[in-house]
Amino acid sequence: MDAPRLSAQRPDLKDLRVLVVGCGRSGLAAARLAANQGARVLLTDNRTAEQLGAAAVEARDLGATLHFGSNPAELAEAADLIVLSPGVPQEIPLIRRARELDLPVWSEIELATRFHRGQVIAVTGSNGKSTVTTMIGAIVAACGQRCEVGGNLDRPFAELVDPEADDLLYVLELSSFQLETTLSLNADVALLLNLSPDHLDRYADMTAYADAKARLLELQDADGFTVLSADDPASRPFDARVRGKLHLFSTRGPVERGAFVREGRMILRTSAGEEDVLDLSSLRLPGEHNRANALAAGLAARLAGCSIEAIVRGLTQYRALPHRLEHVRSLGGIEFYNDSKATNPESAVCALSSFEPGRVHLILGGKEKGADWSELVSLIGRHARRVLLVGAASEFLALRLRGIIPCVACETIPAAVLAGFRGAQDGDVILLSPGCASFDQYRNFEERGEDFRQAAHALSGREAEHDA
């Protein structure tokens, strides 16, 4: 391997052997970018071509050498560079062998970073990443700036990056998995929204998970802007790891530099001075957590050069993303909300807190990830009317909630929707906010949310009358 070629900001990949591990959307985007730069690409996945389906067809169309059905360690010996998809842990034998050979192991984000020009706003955290990322994108679009939004959200960075464009602003949602093997992303604005236990089925402990998130801050230089929450106790220790210009956001009180709420209005304090932005009641999203999301997004956009007018337009016109406290329908005075993206208890806390106490029929469950349930269990006891349990975690959750609130074992989401509707009254809410991963019954949280949507839209008033 010619090491100097790979150490450059815009590496010369011509004829280098690039091994891409994982044939999901991220891996395919990385393989395409590497091939476009002249690399000889080998693409591997432990799934078979039949299991991969359309992804295998797309991989063949790239002209890459393919190895499906396993990821043997000896593949590392045929590579100059390895690009690791975020869903693939670093502990597999192939990556261990690559480390022994002293091969560079990059994330798809790192590969794209080496070829982008222009600004980057990068967003990480345990909860709210997608909402804040797309809020920022809406503001930047309202400002008239050329913008691409993606990363862990919809389109991979390697799919978005234009190596010849220096006027693009990239707004990226980044997961801890993606950041593990990202080495040189110096974001112009870096946001770490919050930190709570998650993915402890992959990380040894909370410290390892936090360290992966902190990479985003540690990769910045002194010219960058860093945005942290003043309200999240778990984020406060990150101050010591900040290398950029620190700005805070808070819904609870003023901050010296950053964004806060005064008499219901968003206030920004930056190098431009103190600016009164908008009345937060004009947001279309419910919940205190979405007020915090709007503060973070508005602050990041302002630090990136967007006008106050664009911030107002972007935020007031913004609508909830699918599966993120998304209003699905009203029927007989009962509201249905899809928050399938709530894959940990902290997200479910935010969703449940957004509604009037005693009105919520909460659909809870799925694949449990070793999280701390104490806060959500306490809130459920004070806030929910009853809980409808689904998926593999049903028995675990029934034990946690015994004696606290009535629980109904429903097994599937359509059954939970029906049971919730039959037991609801005018003014109640049927809320899917599972607090768990979806992989016990679904391919992803999107498929789970779509199942909820379809079940809600299939209802008519007759189902409620059935038990009357």
Active site positions, annotated: 129, 152, 199
According to DSSP, the β-strands at 265-270 and 273-279 are antiparallel
Residues near 410 by Cβ (< 8 Å), separated by ≥ 6?
363, 388, 389, 390, 416, 419
Q: Which two tokens stand for residue 167?
A: 């006027």
The answer to whether residues 195 and 232 touch, using CB atoms and an 8 Å cutoff, is: yes
Of 270, 268, 295, nearest to 280 by C-alpha is 295
Cα gap 194→283, rounded to integer Å: 21
DSSP H stretches of helix in 362-412: 374-383, 394-401
Enumerate helices (H) and strands (E) in the chain, giving the number of each.
18, 20
Residues near 85 by Cβ (< 8 Å), separated by ≥ 6?
20, 21, 22, 23, 24, 26, 27, 30, 108
Report the first-to-last Cα separation within the chain, whole angstroms.
74
Tell me if residue 121 falls in helix, strand or coil.
strand
